[in-house]
Structure 1
Amino acid sequence: MINPSAHGWIDKFFAEQRLLPHPFPESELAFYTQTRATGFIFGHTISFDSTHPIDTNSRLPQEISKIGLLNTLYQMFRWEKQTDESELFITEAVGFYNSLITKGFNPLQKMLPSTTPSHKLEKILHDRVQTNEDLITKNFSHAITNALLFIDVLAFKQYLEKGSISDKYFNKIEGIVMSIVSLSLKTKTNISPHDVLLLKLFDASVRYTKFSTTAIKTIDDLELSYLQNDLEKLYMIDLAGISLWSDEKVENEERYFLYKLGESLSIDDSLVLSSITFINSFIANHKKEIPYFNYSNPVKHFYDQTSDSVVVLINRNKKRLLKEISQSKELMQLLAKSTHKDLDKEEKKKIKRQLLDVCKSIPSLTIFLLPGGSLLLPLLIKFIPTLLPSSFNENIED
C-alpha cells in the first residue's frame, strides 16, 4: 500500500497503476463526471478514478488529498496527451508548478538539484494540499485540507494545451469561485452555521487573491467572460450547488439561482439538473464524513477526527512503538497499572514525560511534540494497551 507520508510514494503509485490498463476518458464531460464522483472537486475525496483500486481507509486526510490531486492531474494529462507515460506526466507536472514560482508559489527553492522529478512532485503536492491560514485548523479541525485543488487541474489543462499558464489565471478563477460561492450563500432562504464555515474554508484555500463580497449582489454582477472551458463552467455550477445545499434539499429559489447561473455560463439545463441530483445524493451518503457539515459540535468532531488520525499513526508504527516502550521498565509498569487503577498526579507526569521521549525517537509520532500536541497524549495512552501482548491486557479483564 502506498504511503503518501513517506518518500517514494509517487513512484510506487505508478508501479501499482501499471498493473492494469485504464481506459482513457471518452470526453471532457466524462472526465469531469468521473472526477466529481470521487468527491475531489468538493474537497472531500471518497474514492479515486483508477482501475487499480486505492483504499481510502487507514489514511490521513492529507494523504487522501495528495493521492486525489496526483491522480486527477494524471487523468487530465492522459486525456490531453492520450498516453499513460508516467515519466512524461511527472516532468510536465513539475514544469507546470515550477512555472508558478513567479506567481507567488515556490515549492522547489529548498530542494537539492539532484532531487528526482518524482520527489520534487511529492514536495509540491504536500505543499498544495495545505490551506493558507491556521484559523480553520485551530477553530474547526486539523483535518481540513485545501478545498479548491481542482483549480490546479484546470490550470494544468491550460498548461498542457498552451505550454504555459497566464499570470492572471489563478487570480481570475479564484476570484470567480469566491464571487459565486458568496453570492450563492446570499441567495439561500436559510443560512446555517456550516455555510459560514464553508465560505471560510474556501477563503483559506485561495492562494492568489483575497476577495471582498460587497460588490457582488446579483448574477449579473458576476464577471464570467473569463470562463471559456466547459470544465471551468461545470465546476462553478457544482460549487454553487454545494454552497446552496441545506436540509437535504435545494429550495425552489435556490434551484432558480442555479439555472440562472447555468444560463449565464451557457450550460444546458440538463447538466444543471445533473449537478443538483448528484450533490443531493453525494451529501446524503457522506454528510457525516464531510468536515464542513459537522459544525453543530465542532469540539466532538475535532476529537473524533484526531482520534482517527492518532489510531492510524499508532498502527503504522506499532512495532517501533512497542520496542521503545518495552525498553523502559518503569513506563511498562505504569501503563499496566493505569489499566486497572487510577494513577496519582506524579505517576501521570512520569507517563507523559516518558511517552514524549518515546515519540521523539519515532518521526511519525512527533505530532505529540508540536504545540498543543501533549493534549493528544491521553489518546495515545488509551490505545497503547490494545497493542500490547494479551498477558498485559489481563489487567483489564481482571
Structure 2
Amino acid sequence: MINPSAPGWIDKFFDEQKTSEKLTVLSEEEFYLRTRATGFIFGHIIGFDTHKPISITGQLPEEISKIGMLHTLYQMYCLTQKEENHFITEAVAFYNLLTPKGFNPLQKMLPSSSESSKLEKIIHDRVQTNEDLFSKSFSHVITNALLFVDVLAFKKYLENGSLPEKYFNRIEDLVISIVSLSLKSKTGVSIHDDLLQKLFESSVRYTKISDKGIKTIEDLDLSYLSNDLEKFYVIDLAGISLWSDAKVENEERYFLFKLGEKLAVSETFIINSIHFINNFIVTHKNEIPYFNNSNPVKNFYDHTTESVQVLITRNKKRLVKEVSQSKELMQLLAKSTHKELDKDEKKKIKSQLLDICKTIPSLTIFLLPGGSLLLPLLIKFIPQMLPSSFNENEERDQNPNK
C-alpha cells in the first residue's frame, strides 16, 4: 500500500503503476471527463484513475489529495508531451517558477535530495492549505477545491516552457466571480450556499477577494480562458454551485447555457455536466463536508476519530507490543472497558500512553499542543486491537451466568 505520509511514496507509486509506457489519452475532453469522475475537480476525491487500482480505504484525506494531485499532473504530462519521460523533473521545475524570488521551500532540503523527494515536499505543501488539525477539523469547507488550477497551469508550462504572467491570479479571479454570479442566479437560497462560497474563497492562493462590480454574466470577461479544459472547469464549478435539492431549476439551467454560449461550449457538454453533478452529489452527499454542517463539534469528532483510527491501525503491531510490556497499563485499560476509572488511574493511563507515543514517530500527534484531547480516542481503540483474552473480564461482568 502506498503511504503518501512516508518518504519515497512517489517512486513507489510509479514502480507499482509501471507507467514507463505513457497512458493512452485520446483527447483533452476525455482526460477531463476521466479526471472529473474521480472527484478531483470538486476537491472531493472518490477514487483514482490509475492503471493499477489504488484503494482510498485507510488513507487520510490529505494522503488521498496527494495521490490525486500526483496522478492528475502525470496524466497532463502524458497528454501534452511526446518525448522521453521526464515528468518529475518537469514538475519540480514548474513549481519552482511559482515560488517568490528570494524564497524557495526546497532550500531546506539536502543538495543530494532526489527530484522525487523534492516533488513529495512540493505536493505536501500544496495540499496542506491548513496545517492546524483543529482548525481544519472544525472547517465546513473543502480547502483543496482549486487544485485543478495547478494542472491547468502545468499544461501552459509544458506547452510554452513558461507561464503567462499572473495566470493563477486571473483563473482564480474568474472562478470566484463565476461562482458568486451562479449563486446569485439561484431561484432558491440553500443553507449550503454561503459555505460553498467560502469553499472557493478559502482555496484561493493568489487572488484577493473583492467586489469587482460584476452583476450579470455579461459583465464577465471570459476571453482569458483559451482552451477547452479551462472552459469545462468553470462550467462544472458553476454547475456544482447551482445544485440544490437534487435538481437545477430552469433559470439556473439558463445561466449555465448562457455561460456555455459565451465560452463556445456545446450544449451536450452542459447537459451532461448537469446530470453528472447531480448524480455525484446525490451519491456522495453524506461524505462531502459542506453538505454536513449541522454540528461543528460532531464534524471535529468524526474527522479526528477517522484520522486517529488510521494512524493506530498502521502502527498496530508496534503499539500492541509497547502496551503489552506494561502490566499496569494493561490492567488499567482492561478496567476502563467496563468501569469508570478514578482521577489517579486516568492520569496514569495518560502518562504511560504519552510515553509510548514518544517512541512511535507517527503517533507524536498526541504530543502536540491540544493532542492530549485526542487521547480518549486512542484509549477507545487500543482494547479492540488486543487479544480476545484481554476482554474476558468484561464478558464475565456482562454475562454473569456463563
Give the TM-score normalised by the residue count of structure 2.
0.93
Say whether 1:35 aligns with 2:35.
yes
| Aligned residue number for residue 13 of structure 1 | 13
Aligned CA distance change for structure 1 residues 172 and 75 (closer, same or farther; 3 Å): same
Contact 2:34–2:49 at 8 Å: present in 1 too?
Answer: yes
In terms of mean alpha carbon deviation, does 276-285 or 358-367 score higher? 358-367
Say whether 1:125 aligns with 2:123.
yes
In terms of mean alpha carbon deviation, does 230-239 or 96-105 score higher? 96-105
Q: Distance in 2 between matches of 1:192 and 1:151?
A: 27
SS of residue paired to 1:300: helix
- The one of 155, 178, 181 equivalent to 2:176 is 178
Matched residue type, 2:378:
L
In terms of mean alpha carbon deviation, does 17-26 or 351-360 score higher? 17-26
Q: For each residue in 1:150-208, what CA deviation from the matched residue of structure 2 results, as whole angstroms up to 9, or x when unmatched?
A: 00000000000001112310000111111111111112223333222222221121111
- The one of 383, 386, 392 equivalent to 2:384 is 386
Contact 1:61–1:145 at 8 Å: present in 2 too?
Answer: no
Matched residue type, 2:268:
S
| Aligned residue number for residue 90 of structure 1 | 88
| Aligned residue number for residue 199 of structure 1 | 197
| Aligned residue number for residue 57 of structure 1 | 57
| Aligned residue number for residue 377 of structure 1 | 375
Contact 2:137–2:303 at 8 Å: present in 1 too?
Answer: no
SS of residue paired to 1:248: coil
Q: Distance in 2 between matches of 1:392 and 1:355?
A: 18
Matched residue type, 1:146:
N
Shift of 1:376: 1.5
Aligned CA distance change for structure 1 residues 217 and 377 (closer, same or farther; 3 Å): same
Aligned CA distance change for structure 1 residues 191 and 352 (closer, same or farther; 3 Å): farther
Matched residue type, 1:147:
A
| Aligned residue number for residue 280 of structure 2 | 282
Aligned CA distance change for structure 1 residues 83 and 308 (closer, same or farther; 3 Å): farther
| Aligned residue number for residue 330 of structure 1 | 328
Contact 1:66–1:129 at 8 Å: present in 2 too?
Answer: yes
Contact 2:23–2:75 at 8 Å: present in 1 too?
Answer: no
| Aligned residue number for residue 350 of structure 2 | 352
| Aligned residue number for residue 152 of structure 2 | 154
Shift of 1:291: 1.4
Q: Distance in 2 between matches of 1:133 and 1:215?
A: 34
Aligned CA distance change for structure 1 residues 252 and 214 (closer, same or farther; 3 Å): same
| Aligned residue number for residue 24 of structure 1 | 24
CA RMSD of aligned residues (A): 2.0
Contact 1:171–1:209 at 8 Å: present in 2 too?
Answer: yes
| Aligned residue number for residue 137 of structure 1 | 136
Contact 1:20–1:52 at 8 Å: present in 2 too?
Answer: no
SS of residue paired to 1:109: helix
Aligned CA distance change for structure 1 residues 358 and 207 (closer, same or farther; 3 Å): same
Shift of 1:317: 0.3
| Aligned residue number for residue 75 of structure 1 | 75
Matched residue type, 1:200:
K
| Aligned residue number for residue 230 of structure 2 | 232
Q: Distance in 2 between matches of 1:48 and 1:84?
A: 24
Q: For each residue in 1:31-89, what CA deviation from the matched residue of structure 2 results, as whole angstroms up to 9, or x when unmatched?
A: 0010000000100111111111111111000000000000000000001114683xx10
Q: Distance in 1 between matches of 2:97 and 2:19?
A: 32
Unmatched 5+ stretches in structure 1: none
SS of residue paired to 1:51: coil
Aligned CA distance change for structure 1 residues 367 and 192 (closer, same or farther; 3 Å): farther
| Aligned residue number for residue 399 of structure 2 | none
| Aligned residue number for residue 317 of structure 2 | 319
SS of residue paired to 2:235: helix
Shift of 1:123: 0.4
In terms of mean alpha carbon deviation, does 28-37 or 74-83 score higher? 74-83
Shift of 1:362: 1.4
Contact 1:188–1:244 at 8 Å: present in 2 too?
Answer: yes
Contact 1:148–1:202 at 8 Å: present in 2 too?
Answer: yes
Contact 1:324–1:358 at 8 Å: present in 2 too?
Answer: yes
Aligned CA distance change for structure 1 residues 51 and 350 (closer, same or farther; 3 Å): same
Give aligned pairs, total: 395
Instruction: Indicate the percent of aligned positions where both proteins have the same amino acid.
Output: 70
Shift of 1:393: 1.8
Contact 1:178–1:203 at 8 Å: present in 2 too?
Answer: yes
Matched residue type, 2:30:
A
Contact 2:138–2:300 at 8 Å: present in 1 too?
Answer: no
SS of residue paired to 1:193: coil
Give the TM-score normalised by the residue count of structure 1.
0.94
Matched residue type, 2:139:
F
Q: For each residue in 1:271-310, what CA deviation from the matched residue of structure 2 results, as whole angstroms up to 9, or x when unmatched?
A: 1111111100111111111112111233323322221111
Q: Distance in 1 between matches of 2:229 and 2:351?
A: 53
In terms of mean alpha carbon deviation, does 242-251 or 212-221 score higher? 212-221
| Aligned residue number for residue 167 of structure 1 | 165
Shift of 1:327: 2.8
Matched residue type, 1:260:
K
Aligned CA distance change for structure 1 residues 317 and 375 (closer, same or farther; 3 Å): same
Shift of 1:140: 2.3
Contact 2:152–2:229 at 8 Å: present in 1 too?
Answer: yes
Unmatched 5+ stretches in structure 2: 397-402
| Aligned residue number for residue 400 of structure 2 | none
Aligned CA distance change for structure 1 residues 191 and 357 (closer, same or farther; 3 Å): farther
